[in-house]
Chains A and B, each alone.
Chain A
Amino acid sequence: MMNRKPFLETQRLSVGYTTSKVLFNDINLSLQAGELVCFMGPNGIGKSTLIRTLAGLQEPLSGKIIRGDEKKVAVVLTDKIAASHMTVRELITYGRYPYVNWNITLTEADLLIIDQSIDTVHIRHLLDKKLYELSDGQMQMVMVARALTQETPVILMDEPTAHLDLNNRVEIMNLLRQLTRNSGKAILVATHELDLALQTADLIWLTMPDQSIKTGIPEDLVLDGSIDSVFQFKGFDLKTGKVAHEVYRTTKVNLIGDGPTYLWTRNALERSGLQMDEAGEIDIVIDNGRWRIKEQVFTSLKDLLDAVILK
């Protein structure tokens, strides 16, 4: 796998604006076919600048970027599109611009490719909508379709899940994963959203404090503490992937049960400042979707919580 020719490769790349404002220095990275890579780092570290540099929209300070075939890469950026009364169909057509003549004559083949991207992203129902009518999530899907229409081996995306709700974020990331699996594209996603990146990325590029970028699979970077050191969590426990709860009640609880009910009951108890302990003074038994403390049965978690906290 490692000796295949990468789709995109950097050699001793330095990125920034002037020599006095270098954002990344001596970067040697590569993007392989079929890989979903998340480029992670805190806000304001220069992820967008690197994405633009890799895309050829900005000159590197020094070093080289080698793109597999000399075609341009497709990008999805955070730039707002001012022409908001453009239709979705018009926007997707732009993907064919590198291939059409000055007169914008679309061939049958062009139209077929446009059609296929629309189906891949499932946005046929949006085609005649104007951009200002779209939700943030729909807009991102349309931008992905536009990028697909460009038929490039590499797609670079800058914060594609920003401002999206959880459902849309998951949908986008799943779509990107499918694209890498089914069409062998290499997709680089710059993001500061840790949870999604850890769960979906094949590889993570992590911005380090010394202007370098560390690469590794998500699990390795979690376990060796790299991610902790970069993000400096304030109340997020990376090992469990949850927000750390502070114990502020003296009562200890022994929870007995399994499955999702167990996990969410535990979440409710910990959130309320209770400590979980097998030797706790209260035994709560989960039984067929209900909760029992000794003989007392609770049908809702809220009632249970009220009872436990009052004790």
Chain B
Amino acid sequence: MKQVHFNKYLVALAASLLLLFILNISLGSVRIPVEELFKSLLTDNSSSATYSTIVWQFRLPKALTCILAGAALSVSGLLMQTIFRNPLAGPDVLGLSSGASLMVALVLLISQSASLLVIASNPWAIAIASSMGSSLVFILVIIISNYVKDNTSLLIIGLMISATTAAIVGVLQYVSRAEDLQAFMIWTMGNVGSTGWSEIIVLGIITLTGSGIALLFMKSLNGWLLGDHYAQSLGVNLKRSRFWIVTATSIMAGGVTAFCGPVAFVGLAVPHLIRLLIPTTNHKILLPAVMLGGPILLLFCDMLAQLPGSTLLLPLNAITSMIGAPVVIWMVIRNKKIRV
């Protein structure tokens, strides 16, 4: 009964996502008319080979990356907020993205200086290293969270973990060769434009797997909201569900970081924006909603980063932070205390 009532939001979100997807591909330094866009997407005989190349080589991979990364980050953020029962949790805030960055930096820089380019160019290798980095940080944060129960302390610890890994990454950058450096710098600013089809396939598999796990555990996730004891009394297996939720979160946060860099604020902000739109705590509705909401936000941010009609390309993190940070500040002020 309640589900039907919320379904209209999901339909609206899906429609907005489709619209933004088309706009995102169509707009950019070169504007592609919508009919040309459909021609090159759906048929072989586009009137312009240039349009076809732009769509297939650049715009479509970038838009798909936005969709996959947006969904993965938002679901990770929601899972973290639920499992910590902390509204300020998110893959970037609690250091998962930095842990992943550190591992990616290590793999990239070491394999390049050792001329092991085979590893550096294999998307799976990068994704696995990155996911390991984020899961290690996640486990560390979970252990620490058993000692500090309040939201603020956990947040500060997350920031400190981020600062530490950022410092190590900084050292690695300092000792690495200049030509590696620029590529790495662009990556740390968040970048959805450098993913090829092989990376997209890896990211797609990771996002589908992570989201699938999250959906399978929606009942446990709801249980987690009540606290350990109540969840247990309702038959939720705490250890098993925590293992799978941590796994899903780590591979998704790690996967996105591997290919797009540590994208800021999306994981934290999207669940809150969705809850603002749909007043529920039920993951049966929240999960599909953030899976649609994350891509919408990232497609939108990417369009702003690549201002239509201009050749200027702004760093993605600058845009997501400019949107995400005020949203969080506004919510804290509006609700005095933001809630899970």
| Chain A residues engaging chain B, CB cutoff 8 angstroms | 52, 55-57, 72-75, 77, 79-87, 89-91, 94-95, 97-98, 100-104, 111, 132, 150
A-B contact pairs, 5 of them (CB 8 A): A56-B233, A82-B225, A86-B225, A87-B281, A90-B280
Cα–Cα distance between A90 and B227 once the two chains are bound (Å): 15
Cα–Cα distance between A55 and B233 once the two chains are bound (Å): 7
Could you tell me the distance in whole angstroms from the C-beta of A102 to the nearest C-beta in chain B? 5
Residues on B with C-beta less than 8 A from A132 are 339
Cα–Cα distance between A184 and B340 once the two chains are bound (Å): 37
In the complex, per-residue mask of B246-285: 1 if CB is within 8 Å of any chain A CB, else 0: 0000000000000000000000000000010001111010
Question: Residue of A at shortest CB range from B84?
Answer: A82
- Known A-B contacts A81-B227, A85-B339, A86-B281; the reply to A72 vs B233 at CB < 8 A is yes
User: Are B225 and A75 in contact, with the CB atoms below 8 A?
Assistant: no
Could you tell me the distance in whole angstroms from the C-beta of A56 to the nearest C-beta in chain B? 8
- Interface size, B (range): 20 to 34
| Chain B residues engaging chain A, CB cutoff 8 angstroms | 1-2, 85, 216-219, 222-223, 225-227, 229-230, 232-236, 275, 279-282, 284, 339-340
Cα–Cα distance between A80 and B85 once the two chains are bound (Å): 11
User: Are B85 and A94 in contact, with the CB atoms below 8 A?
Assistant: no
- Known A-B contacts A72-B235, A86-B281, A90-B280; the reply to A81 vs B339 at CB < 8 A is no
- Known A-B contacts A90-B280, A90-B282, A97-B219; the reply to A81 vs B226 at CB < 8 A is yes
Residues on A with C-beta less than 8 A from B275 are 85
Cα–Cα distance between A77 and B229 once the two chains are bound (Å): 8
Cα–Cα distance between A94 and B232 once the two chains are bound (Å): 12
User: Are B227 and A57 in contact, with the CB atoms below 8 A?
Assistant: no
Could you tell me the distance in whole angstroms from the C-beta of B97 to the nearest C-beta in chain A? 24
Cα–Cα distance between A81 and B222 once the two chains are bound (Å): 12
Question: Residue of B at shortest CB range from A99?
Answer: B235
- Known A-B contacts A74-B233, A84-B339, A94-B234; the reply to A104 vs B218 at CB < 8 A is yes
Residues on A with C-beta less than 8 A from B223 are 94, 97
- Known A-B contacts A57-B232, A89-B2, A94-B226; the reply to A83 vs B281 at CB < 8 A is yes
Question: Residue of A at shortest CB range from B225?
Answer: A83
Cα–Cα distance between A167 and B297 once the two chains are bound (Å): 50
User: Are A82 and B340 in contact, with the CB atoms below 8 A?
Assistant: yes
Could you tell me the distance in whole angstroms from the C-beta of B178 to the nearest C-beta in chain A? 49
Residues on A with C-beta less than 8 A from B284 are 103-104
User: Are B2 and A82 in contact, with the CB atoms below 8 A?
Assistant: no
Residues on B with C-beta less than 8 A from A101 are 219
User: Are A83 and B233 in contact, with the CB atoms below 8 A?
Assistant: no
Could you tell me the distance in whole angstroms from the C-beta of A154 to the nearest C-beta in chain B? 12
Cα–Cα distance between A204 and B284 once the two chains are bound (Å): 43
User: Are B281 and A85 in contact, with the CB atoms below 8 A?
Assistant: yes
Residues on A with C-beta less than 8 A from B279 are 85, 87
Closest 10 CB pairs of A and B: A82-B85, A83-B225, A97-B234, A86-B281, A85-B339, A98-B235, A83-B340, A79-B227, A75-B233, A83-B281
